[in-house]
């Protein structure tokens, strides 16, 4: 299959699409991103790479980081995680509060904000220097030391992340946060402010397509844990649009409000997109379309 041709065609078809959605502005520092940016990157399991558009340009990975933090926490504390966070889709937006109160401070899953904040709490407890150690983990996964946090984005979210403060307070009130709220959220805002390009993101997600091993064949998490992480991505990676993503694209994946998406076919490939315009559910509008075209045209989805 001529993958370069396939992604080139998708890029050309969508590049001038009129409705590109809306750039996230509730984190003020993200509001200035160019709505016309668009990149796609495909990495096959044998390491071959195919890129088009702005695939080398870094962007704020935001909630995509939740999968990376979850993988680290899962490898550190194993199944102890699941007494503090569930694995059911929430059917609600990423920053929804009501369910958390109804369900006594146990977030539905680790990919909504409440769940990811619990995971951040686990990492703050388990890592000696949480922000440095987490960055080291991501750099090791990708074999790329250029990856870093955008401190302006982290500060910007710290100033305006009122819902996340509300979530953390609610978690704390139910006894589901061991560390203090400011420390946990400081870590969470930094993890979300990681910047990566599509190319770098494909490398980071390679372990989920390769039974837990990176490109250098180092085992980061077990094959059985990867099975579970991919199941969580498939059912919860797109919040109240997870069903649509499974239906349209048919791959486990994760989106972020920076406009990125990382998706994968275990044993086959990782595909990443970046298009900053979001749909009403906070997922990249062109990214979802691009991935739908990719799996439809190539016939390569888990279904």
| Residues contributing to the site for ligand GLN (CB under 6 A) | 62-63, 94-95, 113, 157, 164, 192, 256-257, 282
Question: Residue number with the shortest CB distance to ligand GLN?
Answer: 63
Cβ at position 3, least distance to ligand GLN in Å: 28
Q: Which is nearer to ligand GLN, 53 or 282 (CB)?
A: 282
Which CB atom, from 7 or from 177, has the smaller least distance to ligand GLN?
177
Q: Minimum distance from CB of 79 to ligand GLN (Å)?
A: 26
Cβ proximity to ligand GLN, 95 vs 295, nearer residue: 95
Total number of residues shown for the chain = 303
Q: How far is the CB of 113 from ligand GLN (least distance, A)?
A: 5
CA dihedral 291, 68, 96, 21 (to 10 degrees): -30
Closest CA to 270 of 193, 192, 214: 214
The secondary structure of the chain in percent helix, strand, coil, rounded to multiples of 5, reads 50, 15, 35
**What are the two backbone dihedrals, phi and then psi, of residue 270, each rounded to the nearest 5 degrees?**
-120, 140
Output the smallest distance, CB 112 to ligand GLN, in A.
9
Nearest CB to ligand GLN, comparing residues 6 and 262: 262
Least distance between ligand GLN and beta carbon 193 (Å): 8
Q: Are 119 and 85 in contact (CB under 8 A)?
A: yes
Whichever of 6 and 100 has its CB closer to ligand GLN, that residue is 100
Nearest alpha carbon to residue 135 among 146, 122, 119: 146
Q: Could you tell me which residues are beta bridge partners of residue 278?
A: 22, 284
């Amino acid at each position: 299959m001529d993958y370069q041709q396939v992604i080139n065609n998708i890029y050309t078809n969508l590049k001038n699409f009129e409705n590109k959605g809306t750039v996230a502005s509730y984190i003020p520092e993200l509001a200035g991103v160019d709505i016309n940016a668009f990149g796609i990157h495909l990495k096959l399991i044998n390491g071959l790479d195919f890129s088009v558009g702005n695939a080398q340009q870094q962007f704020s990975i935001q909630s995509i980081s939740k999968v990376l933090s979850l993988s680290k926490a899962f490898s550190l504390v194993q199944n102890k995680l699941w007494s503090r966070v569930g694995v059911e889709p929430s059917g609600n937006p990423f920053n929804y509060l009501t369910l958390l109160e109804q369900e006594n401070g146990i977030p539905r899953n680790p990919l909504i904000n409440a769940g990811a904040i619990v995971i951040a709490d686990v990492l703050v407890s388990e890592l000696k220097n949480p922000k440095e150690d987490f960055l080291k983990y991501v750099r090791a996964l990708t074999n790329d030391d250029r990856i870093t946090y955008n401190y302006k984005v982290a500060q910007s979210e710290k100033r305006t992340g009122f819902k996340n403060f509300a979530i953390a307070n609610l978690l704390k009130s139910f006894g589901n946060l061991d560390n203090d709220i400011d420390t946990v959220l400081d870590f969470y805002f930094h993890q979300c402010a990681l910047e990566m390009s599509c190319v770098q993101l494909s490398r980071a997600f390679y372990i989920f397509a390769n039974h837990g091993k990176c490109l250098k064949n180092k085992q980061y998490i077990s094959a059985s844990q990867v099975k579970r992480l991919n199941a969580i991505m498939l059912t919860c990676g797109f919040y109240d649009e997870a069903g649509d993503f499974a239906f349209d694209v048919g791959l486990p994946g994760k989106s972020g409000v920076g406009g990125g998406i990382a998706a994968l076919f275990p044993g086959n490939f990782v595909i990443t997109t970046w298009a900053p315009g979001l749909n009403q559910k906070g997922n990249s509008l062109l990214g979802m379309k691009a991935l739908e075209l990719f799996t439809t045209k190539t016939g390569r989805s888990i279904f």
